Amino acid sequence: MRLERRALTDAAAAPALAAELRALAPGGASVAEPVAAILADVRERGDAAVVELIRRFDTGGAEPKPLRVPQEELDAALAALDPDVRAGLEVAAQNIGVVAAIGLDEEREVTLGHGQTIKLREIPVRRAAVYVPGGRAPYPSTVLMGVVTAVTAGVEQVVLCAPPGPDGDLHPAILAAAALAGADEVYRMGGAQAIAALAHGTDTVAPVDVIVGPGSLWVQEAKRQVQGAGLVGIDGFAGPSDVLVLFDRDADLRAVALDLRAQAEHGGDSLVIAVSPDGDAIEALSEGLSVVPEPGIGALVQTADLADALALANAFAPEHLELIGERAETLAPEIRNAGCLFVGRNGATAFGDYVAGSNHTLPTDGAARFASGLSTRHFRRRMTEVRIPDAAAATLAPAGAAIARAEGFELHAQSMEARIRENPAS
């Protein structure tokens, strides 16, 4: 693990240091051009381009299997799954579903003073896709995080895709988790080409309304580009992963080191940050991590006090934020920017990755300043329904017409005034 050493002695410098730490990991701009070329290729050639790119990037030249996985293969994978793994996935799925359900809002209606009614309707998207990354390892946990949340949101058709391995197939754990979570369609495809197929549609893959899930820079940049083209909604730019552990002298340094190393398991571009005002603890942690062979990019930051550590945490806006140690834990109410906050000696990010019930698809690259983790909100839209009876129109039209004419929209004014009737009904 590559370790950087930094110091912060003034809270006012926290934003600059946060930006410096962010720059340690690569961003999506580095792959923007080749991603755009892949999106264009799939848009023009459809399935043929997707299969060709799978052969190039995933199967090492071997002929890929059919894009869509039949239901019988999903059922067989679930039946063959190790019982302990299945039991763990069932615990995770239940907890994820309970937490996801909390995010559902009921429809609400209000009648205003002039008599018009405004209803806020909650409508799920019809078709949504969950992208599950491959590469270093299979991620059945990500299957659950996306599919269970989408199903809870009421999505009619939940689609899942993941990159196949050299044998052209998906890992059995992915297939089993898809069956357990209730995915309607599963596809053997990954990378930017999968995002293109989901956004544009091909002969085999029908287009979706929303794409969510973590993945490589190529996948996330593809998500960003298809959203920018107005094709789909997305959850956000989910990757590379990061964690910031803010700890004090009471923290268990072995646990802190394990949490940092665990996050680095996600890959060489994972960003792990440890922050503390305790210089001796920082030094001890440095010695323990300097001999660790795991990949990842690390930084150890000593601050003047806990107030400066808090300022840096909020400026960095980590995907995962841990507060460990008696004094550090008191900062929880003052945390404003974090994808998910873990408080206390048992607050390991790994619990959130699997079984705590919180979602592990979270805003990265500092987006926790304005974005939220994956929830039912990403699969639902709020639509306003307006009903204006005659009596309300008679009183609202003059007020609206005056504003319209002030803006230079005469026909807007006339459109409202045309609704005024001599004997309005209530």
* Active-site entry in 320, 329, 360, 378: 320
CA dist 338 and 373 (Å) reads: 9
Residue 87 CB coordination number (10 Å): 11
Closest CA to 276 of 252, 240, 242, 241: 252
Strands ordered across the beta sheet of 271-276: 2-8, 297-303, 271-276, 242-247, 320-324, 340-343
Catalytic residue flag (residue 334): no
Tokens of 305: 């006090």
Catalytic residue flag (residue 319): yes
Give the SS3 label for residue 53: helix
Measured at the CA of 190, the angle between CA 187 and CA 191, to 5 degrees, comes to: 155
What is the DSSP annotation of 356-412? SSS-S----TTGGGT---S-GGGGEEEEEEEE--HHHHHHHHHHHHHHHHHTT-HHH
Specify the amino acid at residue 56: R
* Active-site entry in 221, 319, 322, 329: 319
Q: Which residues lie below 8 Å from residue 273, measured CB to CB, with a gap of 6+? A: 21, 242, 243, 244, 245, 298, 299, 300, 301, 316, 318
Measured at the CA of 161, the angle between CA 157 and CA 162, to 5 degrees, comes to: 160
Closest CA to 373 of 302, 324, 320: 320
Give the SS3 label for residue 240: coil
Active site members: 319-320
